[in-house]
Amino acid sequence: MLSYPDFKQKQIVFAFVSRGDKLFFRNDNIIVKNDEGIRHQSSAYKLFALFIVGNMSITTGLLQRAKHFGFSIFLMTHSFRLYGSLISGIEGNFLLRGKQYAYKDDGIARYLVENKINHQIEQLKKRRYKSSELSNAIVQLQEYHQNIAAKMPDAQNLLGIEGSASKLYFKNIFDNIEWHGREPRVKRDIVNVLLDIGYTLLFHMVDALLNIYGFDTYKGVYHKEFYQRKSLVTDIMEPFRPWIDARIRKAYNLGQIHRADFIKVDGRYMLSYKASKSYVAILLDEIIKQKEVMFVFIQRYYRAFMKELPVSSYPQLIGGKVC
Protein backbone atom coordinates (compact mmCIF):
# COMPACT_ATOMS: atom_id res chain seq x y z
CA MET A 1 0.00 0.00 0.00
CA LEU A 2 1.08 3.58 -0.66
CA SER A 3 2.56 5.17 2.47
CA TYR A 4 1.93 8.75 3.56
CA PRO A 5 5.55 9.91 2.95
CA ASP A 6 5.40 8.49 -0.58
CA PHE A 7 1.99 10.03 -1.25
CA LYS A 8 3.23 13.49 -0.24
CA GLN A 9 5.56 13.41 -3.25
CA LYS A 10 2.87 12.38 -5.72
CA GLN A 11 1.43 14.73 -8.35
CA ILE A 12 -1.95 15.14 -10.01
CA VAL A 13 -1.68 16.14 -13.67
CA PHE A 14 -4.51 17.61 -15.75
CA ALA A 15 -3.82 17.51 -19.49
CA PHE A 16 -6.03 19.42 -21.95
CA VAL A 17 -5.29 17.82 -25.29
CA SER A 18 -6.01 18.80 -28.88
CA ARG A 19 -6.37 16.83 -32.08
CA GLY A 20 -3.00 15.46 -33.12
CA ASP A 21 -1.63 15.21 -29.57
CA LYS A 22 -0.13 11.91 -28.52
CA LEU A 23 0.44 10.57 -25.04
CA PHE A 24 3.25 8.09 -24.57
CA PHE A 25 5.96 6.83 -22.22
CA ARG A 26 9.71 7.42 -22.53
CA ASN A 27 12.52 6.96 -20.00
CA ASP A 28 10.11 6.72 -17.04
CA ASN A 29 8.35 9.92 -18.13
CA ILE A 30 4.81 10.57 -19.32
CA ILE A 31 4.94 12.83 -22.38
CA VAL A 32 2.25 14.76 -24.26
CA LYS A 33 3.51 15.65 -27.73
CA ASN A 34 2.23 17.04 -31.02
CA ASP A 35 3.85 18.01 -34.32
CA GLU A 36 5.31 21.15 -32.73
CA GLY A 37 7.07 19.26 -29.92
CA ILE A 38 6.60 18.26 -26.30
CA ARG A 39 3.71 20.00 -24.54
CA HIS A 40 4.01 18.29 -21.16
CA GLN A 41 6.35 15.89 -19.37
CA SER A 42 6.00 14.28 -15.91
CA SER A 43 7.95 11.62 -14.07
CA ALA A 44 5.93 8.42 -13.73
CA TYR A 45 7.47 7.86 -10.30
CA LYS A 46 5.78 11.01 -8.96
CA LEU A 47 2.41 10.61 -10.65
CA PHE A 48 -0.71 9.69 -8.65
CA ALA A 49 -3.45 10.56 -11.13
CA LEU A 50 -3.52 11.72 -14.75
CA PHE A 51 -6.65 13.45 -16.06
CA ILE A 52 -6.91 13.70 -19.85
CA VAL A 53 -9.50 16.10 -21.27
CA GLY A 54 -10.21 15.66 -24.97
CA ASN A 55 -9.44 13.01 -27.59
CA MET A 56 -5.98 11.68 -28.29
CA SER A 57 -3.96 8.56 -29.03
CA ILE A 58 -2.73 6.47 -26.08
CA THR A 59 -0.16 3.70 -26.45
CA THR A 60 -0.48 0.28 -24.83
CA GLY A 61 2.94 0.89 -23.33
CA LEU A 62 1.51 3.80 -21.35
CA LEU A 63 -1.29 1.62 -19.94
CA GLN A 64 1.27 -1.01 -18.93
CA ARG A 65 3.42 1.63 -17.25
CA ALA A 66 0.42 3.08 -15.40
CA LYS A 67 -0.14 -0.35 -13.91
CA HIS A 68 3.56 -0.75 -13.11
CA PHE A 69 4.05 2.67 -11.49
CA GLY A 70 0.65 2.66 -9.78
CA PHE A 71 -1.02 5.81 -11.13
CA SER A 72 -4.60 6.19 -12.32
CA ILE A 73 -5.72 7.56 -15.69
CA PHE A 74 -9.07 9.32 -16.15
CA LEU A 75 -10.35 10.07 -19.65
CA MET A 76 -12.83 12.96 -19.87
CA THR A 77 -14.76 14.81 -22.56
CA HIS A 78 -14.47 18.56 -23.03
CA SER A 79 -17.54 18.89 -20.77
CA PHE A 80 -15.70 16.89 -18.05
CA ARG A 81 -17.82 13.77 -18.38
CA LEU A 82 -15.81 10.65 -17.60
CA TYR A 83 -15.86 8.14 -20.45
CA GLY A 84 -13.05 5.83 -19.39
CA SER A 85 -10.57 5.15 -16.62
CA LEU A 86 -7.72 2.92 -15.55
CA ILE A 87 -7.63 3.04 -11.76
CA SER A 88 -4.60 1.75 -9.92
CA GLY A 89 -5.06 -0.03 -6.62
CA ILE A 90 -4.94 -3.24 -4.67
CA GLU A 91 -6.85 -6.15 -6.15
CA GLY A 92 -8.17 -9.07 -4.17
CA ASN A 93 -8.44 -7.55 -0.68
CA PHE A 94 -11.15 -10.09 0.09
CA LEU A 95 -10.98 -9.51 3.87
CA LEU A 96 -11.88 -5.85 3.40
CA ARG A 97 -14.62 -6.57 0.89
CA GLY A 98 -16.07 -9.30 3.07
CA LYS A 99 -16.43 -6.75 5.88
CA GLN A 100 -17.99 -4.28 3.45
CA TYR A 101 -20.63 -6.74 2.29
CA ALA A 102 -21.40 -7.79 5.88
CA TYR A 103 -21.80 -4.24 7.21
CA LYS A 104 -25.49 -3.34 7.68
CA ASP A 105 -25.50 -0.62 10.36
CA ASP A 106 -26.27 3.12 9.99
CA GLY A 107 -23.49 4.28 12.33
CA ILE A 108 -20.89 5.14 9.71
CA ALA A 109 -23.50 6.96 7.61
CA ARG A 110 -24.37 9.18 10.59
CA TYR A 111 -20.69 9.74 11.27
CA LEU A 112 -20.03 10.91 7.68
CA VAL A 113 -22.99 13.32 7.68
CA GLU A 114 -21.92 14.69 11.07
CA ASN A 115 -18.48 15.41 9.63
CA LYS A 116 -20.01 17.07 6.57
CA ILE A 117 -22.28 19.37 8.60
CA ASN A 118 -19.45 20.22 10.97
CA HIS A 119 -17.26 21.19 7.99
CA GLN A 120 -20.11 23.32 6.61
CA ILE A 121 -20.35 25.11 9.94
CA GLU A 122 -16.60 25.73 9.97
CA GLN A 123 -16.71 27.30 6.51
CA LEU A 124 -19.53 29.65 7.50
CA LYS A 125 -17.75 30.61 10.73
CA LYS A 126 -14.72 31.77 8.73
CA ARG A 127 -16.69 34.77 7.45
CA ARG A 128 -15.50 37.99 9.08
CA TYR A 129 -18.84 39.75 9.05
CA LYS A 130 -21.74 37.63 10.25
CA SER A 131 -25.21 38.98 9.68
CA SER A 132 -28.01 37.90 11.99
CA GLU A 133 -29.23 35.57 9.23
CA LEU A 134 -25.81 33.91 8.96
CA SER A 135 -25.48 33.62 12.74
CA ASN A 136 -28.91 32.01 12.94
CA ALA A 137 -27.99 29.62 10.15
CA ILE A 138 -24.87 28.51 12.05
CA VAL A 139 -26.95 27.86 15.17
CA GLN A 140 -29.48 25.86 13.15
CA LEU A 141 -26.73 23.79 11.53
CA GLN A 142 -25.29 23.08 14.97
CA GLU A 143 -28.71 21.80 16.04
CA TYR A 144 -28.87 19.53 12.99
CA HIS A 145 -25.42 18.23 13.91
CA GLN A 146 -26.42 17.56 17.52
CA ASN A 147 -29.71 15.91 16.51
CA ILE A 148 -27.87 13.24 14.53
CA ALA A 149 -25.94 12.13 17.63
CA ALA A 150 -28.89 12.50 20.00
CA LYS A 151 -31.69 10.93 17.94
CA MET A 152 -29.67 8.33 15.99
CA PRO A 153 -31.80 8.65 12.82
CA ASP A 154 -32.05 5.81 10.34
CA ALA A 155 -30.81 6.21 6.76
CA GLN A 156 -34.06 7.70 5.45
CA ASN A 157 -34.38 10.31 8.21
CA LEU A 158 -30.67 11.04 7.94
CA LEU A 159 -31.17 11.98 4.29
CA GLY A 160 -33.83 14.45 5.38
CA ILE A 161 -31.56 16.05 7.97
CA GLU A 162 -28.67 16.27 5.53
CA GLY A 163 -30.92 17.77 2.85
CA SER A 164 -32.28 20.44 5.20
CA ALA A 165 -28.80 21.29 6.46
CA SER A 166 -27.37 21.54 2.95
CA LYS A 167 -30.20 23.79 1.75
CA LEU A 168 -29.57 26.18 4.63
CA TYR A 169 -25.81 26.03 4.17
CA PHE A 170 -25.87 26.68 0.41
CA LYS A 171 -28.17 29.65 0.91
CA ASN A 172 -25.56 31.25 3.15
CA ILE A 173 -22.27 30.16 1.54
CA PHE A 174 -23.40 31.72 -1.75
CA ASP A 175 -25.45 34.58 -0.34
CA ASN A 176 -23.50 37.18 -2.36
CA ILE A 177 -23.87 35.36 -5.69
CA GLU A 178 -26.68 34.85 -8.19
CA TRP A 179 -27.89 31.50 -6.94
CA HIS A 180 -31.01 29.43 -7.50
CA GLY A 181 -30.11 26.53 -5.23
CA ARG A 182 -28.29 23.27 -5.90
CA GLU A 183 -29.56 21.90 -9.22
CA PRO A 184 -26.88 19.65 -10.71
CA ARG A 185 -28.93 18.54 -13.71
CA VAL A 186 -30.59 21.85 -14.59
CA LYS A 187 -27.57 24.17 -14.26
CA ARG A 188 -29.60 27.34 -14.27
CA ASP A 189 -26.64 29.35 -13.00
CA ILE A 190 -22.87 29.47 -13.13
CA VAL A 191 -22.42 28.26 -9.55
CA ASN A 192 -24.02 24.89 -10.35
CA VAL A 193 -21.71 24.48 -13.36
CA LEU A 194 -18.63 25.09 -11.21
CA LEU A 195 -19.91 22.89 -8.38
CA ASP A 196 -20.39 20.03 -10.85
CA ILE A 197 -16.83 20.40 -12.15
CA GLY A 198 -15.34 20.67 -8.67
CA TYR A 199 -17.31 17.74 -7.28
CA THR A 200 -16.39 15.63 -10.33
CA LEU A 201 -12.68 16.22 -9.74
CA LEU A 202 -13.11 15.52 -6.03
CA PHE A 203 -15.07 12.33 -6.80
CA HIS A 204 -12.30 10.88 -8.95
CA MET A 205 -9.64 11.84 -6.41
CA VAL A 206 -11.53 10.01 -3.65
CA ASP A 207 -12.10 7.06 -5.99
CA ALA A 208 -8.36 6.75 -6.59
CA LEU A 209 -7.60 7.03 -2.86
CA LEU A 210 -10.12 4.33 -1.91
CA ASN A 211 -8.63 1.99 -4.49
CA ILE A 212 -5.25 2.20 -2.77
CA TYR A 213 -6.72 -0.10 -0.13
CA GLY A 214 -8.87 -2.29 -2.35
CA PHE A 215 -12.33 -1.05 -1.37
CA ASP A 216 -15.30 -2.07 -3.48
CA THR A 217 -16.26 1.50 -4.31
CA TYR A 218 -19.74 0.42 -5.44
CA LYS A 219 -20.64 -0.84 -1.94
CA GLY A 220 -21.70 2.21 0.07
CA VAL A 221 -22.62 2.74 3.70
CA TYR A 222 -24.98 5.70 3.22
CA HIS A 223 -26.08 6.36 -0.34
CA LYS A 224 -28.25 3.72 -1.94
CA GLU A 225 -26.59 1.24 -4.23
CA PHE A 226 -27.54 1.39 -7.89
CA TYR A 227 -26.15 -0.38 -10.91
CA GLN A 228 -22.72 1.07 -11.80
CA ARG A 229 -22.95 3.78 -9.14
CA LYS A 230 -19.88 4.18 -6.95
CA SER A 231 -21.84 4.76 -3.77
CA LEU A 232 -18.87 4.50 -1.40
CA VAL A 233 -17.01 7.26 -3.26
CA THR A 234 -20.07 9.48 -2.90
CA ASP A 235 -20.24 8.60 0.80
CA ILE A 236 -16.61 9.34 1.64
CA MET A 237 -16.41 12.59 -0.31
CA GLU A 238 -19.32 14.14 1.64
CA PRO A 239 -17.15 15.73 4.37
CA PHE A 240 -14.80 17.14 1.71
CA ARG A 241 -17.39 18.96 -0.41
CA PRO A 242 -17.27 22.28 1.52
CA TRP A 243 -13.69 22.81 0.30
CA ILE A 244 -15.04 23.13 -3.23
CA ASP A 245 -17.91 25.38 -2.14
CA ALA A 246 -15.60 27.74 -0.26
CA ARG A 247 -13.13 27.90 -3.16
CA ILE A 248 -15.88 28.90 -5.58
CA ARG A 249 -17.05 31.65 -3.24
CA LYS A 250 -13.46 32.86 -2.89
CA ALA A 251 -13.05 32.87 -6.68
CA TYR A 252 -16.11 35.12 -6.98
CA ASN A 253 -14.79 37.46 -4.32
CA LEU A 254 -11.42 37.68 -6.09
CA GLY A 255 -13.04 38.46 -9.44
CA GLN A 256 -11.79 35.21 -11.02
CA ILE A 257 -15.19 34.21 -12.44
CA HIS A 258 -16.51 35.99 -15.54
CA ARG A 259 -19.93 35.53 -17.12
CA ALA A 260 -18.38 35.87 -20.58
CA ASP A 261 -16.60 32.53 -20.03
CA PHE A 262 -19.93 30.70 -19.92
CA ILE A 263 -22.43 29.81 -22.64
CA LYS A 264 -26.17 29.55 -22.08
CA VAL A 265 -28.05 27.04 -24.24
CA ASP A 266 -31.74 26.24 -23.71
CA GLY A 267 -31.62 27.77 -20.23
CA ARG A 268 -28.54 25.74 -19.20
CA TYR A 269 -25.13 27.24 -18.54
CA MET A 270 -21.97 25.61 -19.85
CA LEU A 271 -18.31 26.55 -19.45
CA SER A 272 -16.61 27.35 -22.74
CA TYR A 273 -13.72 25.04 -23.58
CA LYS A 274 -11.31 27.93 -24.13
CA ALA A 275 -11.87 29.15 -20.56
CA SER A 276 -12.00 25.72 -18.93
CA LYS A 277 -8.28 25.48 -18.15
CA SER A 278 -8.28 28.45 -15.79
CA TYR A 279 -11.37 27.27 -13.90
CA VAL A 280 -10.12 23.70 -13.56
CA ALA A 281 -6.81 25.11 -12.29
CA ILE A 282 -8.65 27.01 -9.55
CA LEU A 283 -10.61 23.96 -8.39
CA LEU A 284 -7.80 21.46 -8.85
CA ASP A 285 -5.49 23.70 -6.85
CA GLU A 286 -7.82 23.36 -3.87
CA ILE A 287 -7.95 19.57 -4.21
CA ILE A 288 -4.15 19.38 -4.41
CA LYS A 289 -3.93 21.63 -1.36
CA GLN A 290 -6.13 19.19 0.59
CA LYS A 291 -4.89 15.92 -0.89
CA GLU A 292 -2.77 14.97 2.11
CA VAL A 293 -5.68 15.56 4.50
CA MET A 294 -7.89 13.34 2.34
CA PHE A 295 -5.21 10.65 2.22
CA VAL A 296 -4.86 10.54 6.02
CA PHE A 297 -8.65 10.58 6.52
CA ILE A 298 -9.19 7.63 4.18
CA GLN A 299 -6.16 5.76 5.55
CA ARG A 300 -7.52 6.02 9.10
CA TYR A 301 -11.03 5.19 7.90
CA TYR A 302 -9.67 2.01 6.34
CA ARG A 303 -7.83 0.99 9.50
CA ALA A 304 -10.87 1.63 11.71
CA PHE A 305 -13.15 -0.26 9.34
CA MET A 306 -10.82 -3.25 9.12
CA LYS A 307 -10.51 -3.43 12.92
CA GLU A 308 -14.30 -3.02 13.26
CA LEU A 309 -13.79 -0.20 15.74
CA PRO A 310 -16.72 1.78 17.18
CA VAL A 311 -17.69 4.83 15.14
CA SER A 312 -16.31 7.10 17.86
CA SER A 313 -12.83 5.83 16.89
CA TYR A 314 -13.15 6.84 13.22
CA PRO A 315 -11.22 9.91 11.97
CA GLN A 316 -12.80 13.33 12.34
CA LEU A 317 -12.30 16.28 9.99
CA ILE A 318 -11.93 19.25 12.30
CA GLY A 319 -10.37 22.61 11.50
CA GLY A 320 -9.05 21.34 8.19
CA LYS A 321 -7.13 18.56 9.92
CA VAL A 322 -7.76 14.89 10.64
CA CYS A 323 -8.21 14.19 14.34
For the chain, the distance separating the N- and C-terminal CA atoms, rounded to the nearest angstrom, is 22
Residue 128 has pLDDT above 80, yes or no: yes
Say if residue 190 is in the same domain as residue 230.
yes
Tell which of 57, 86, 115 closes a domain.
Answer: 86
Helix, strand or coil, per DSSP, at residue 29: strand
More confident residue, 50 or 243: 243
Instruction: Please list, in sequence order, all residues whose beta carbon lies within 8 angstroms of the beta carbon of residue 148, skipping any fewer than 6 positions away.
Output: 110, 113, 114, 117, 158, 161
Long-range pairs for 292-297 at CB < 8 Å and ≥24 separation?
A: 292/4, 292/7, 292/8, 293/317, 293/320, 293/321, 293/322, 294/205, 294/206, 294/209, 294/240, 295/4, 295/7, 295/209, 296/4, 296/322, 297/239, 297/322
Question: So what's the pLDDT on residue 56?
Answer: 75
Say if residue 167 is in the same domain as residue 284.
yes
Stretch 272-283: mean pLDDT: 92
Say if residue 81 is in the same domain as residue 104.
no
Say if residue 200 is in the same domain as residue 175.
yes
Residue 171 has pLDDT above 90, yes or no: yes
Tell which of 70, 86, 102 closes a domain.
Answer: 86
Length of the chain: 323
CATH number at residue 10: 3.100.10.20
Say if residue 70 is in the same domain as residue 154.
no
Residue 59 lies in domain: 4-86
Give residue-wise pLDDT tens across range 50-80: 898 887 777 787 788 888 899 998 988 887 8
Measure the CA–CA gap between 253 and 161, rounded to whole angstroms: 30
**What is the pTM assigned to this prediction?**
0.92
Say if residue 21 is in the same domain as residue 124.
no
Say if residue 268 is in the same domain as residue 153.
yes
Question: So what's the pLDDT on residue 121?
Answer: 98
Average pLDDT across the chain, whole number: 91
Measure the CA–CA gap between 197 and 284, rounded to whole angstroms: 10
Query: How many domains are contained in the chain?
Result: 2
Tell which of 45, 68, 86 closes a domain.
Answer: 86
Q: Quote the distance between the C-alpha of residue 149 and its chain's center.
A: 26
Percent of the chain with pLDDT over 70: 100
Percent of the chain with pLDDT over 90: 63
CATH number at residue 268: 1.20.120.920
Say if residue 65 is in the same domain as residue 176.
no
Say if residue 215 is in the same domain as residue 285.
yes
112 pLDDT band (50/70/90 cuts)?
very high
More confident residue, 33 or 301: 301
Residue 36 has pLDDT above 90, yes or no: no
Say if residue 119 is in the same domain as residue 259.
yes
Residue 166 has pLDDT above 90, yes or no: yes
Long-range pairs for 230-233 at CB < 8 Å and ≥24 separation?
A: 230/203, 232/100, 233/203, 233/206, 233/207
